[in-house]
Amino acid sequence: MTVAVAQIAVIDDSNLDKRQEDEQHSTKSDEAKKDETDRKKSVVCTYSNKYRSQMFRRSPADALQRDAGNVKLIRYYAQKYGVPEGLALSVAYQESRFDTCAGSHTGVKASCS
């Protein structure tokens, strides 16, 4: 049995157009992410020592109530990515007490920010 192999000219215009469109969407997405990151960096967090010490003494129930906006975001992303809500909330509470301005001396930022 003999197999014939040949090169056939193909017009790829429709595939190339789709690839260009995908690359444009990717570029727009990257630009949007950069803008969002720049906006987040512009937030200034200043707390008095008294307030900061109060934050670390508060119970999980107090933290859930006070930072309901952050808790809502944590729950949303936990559901979106299939992480148990209790685990996500526990980690966020332990690391930052749901404080978006929390950070360590090494420069690590809070999981809520």
What's the pLDDT score for residue 80?
92
The yes-or-no verdict on residue 57 having pLDDT over 70 is: no
Token pair for 107: 């420069």
pLDDT at res. 34? 73
CB 92, CB 74: distance < 8 Å: yes
Residue 113 confidence (pLDDT) = 46
What are 13-52's pLDDT values in tens digits? 776 777 777 788 777 777 777 776 666 555 556 556 666 6
pLDDT in tens, 62-108: 878 888 888 899 999 999 999 999 999 999 888 887 777 776 666 66
In angstroms, what CA-CA distances link 21 with 7, 13, 14, 24, 43? Answer: 28, 12, 11, 5, 34
Write down the pLDDT at residue 32.
72
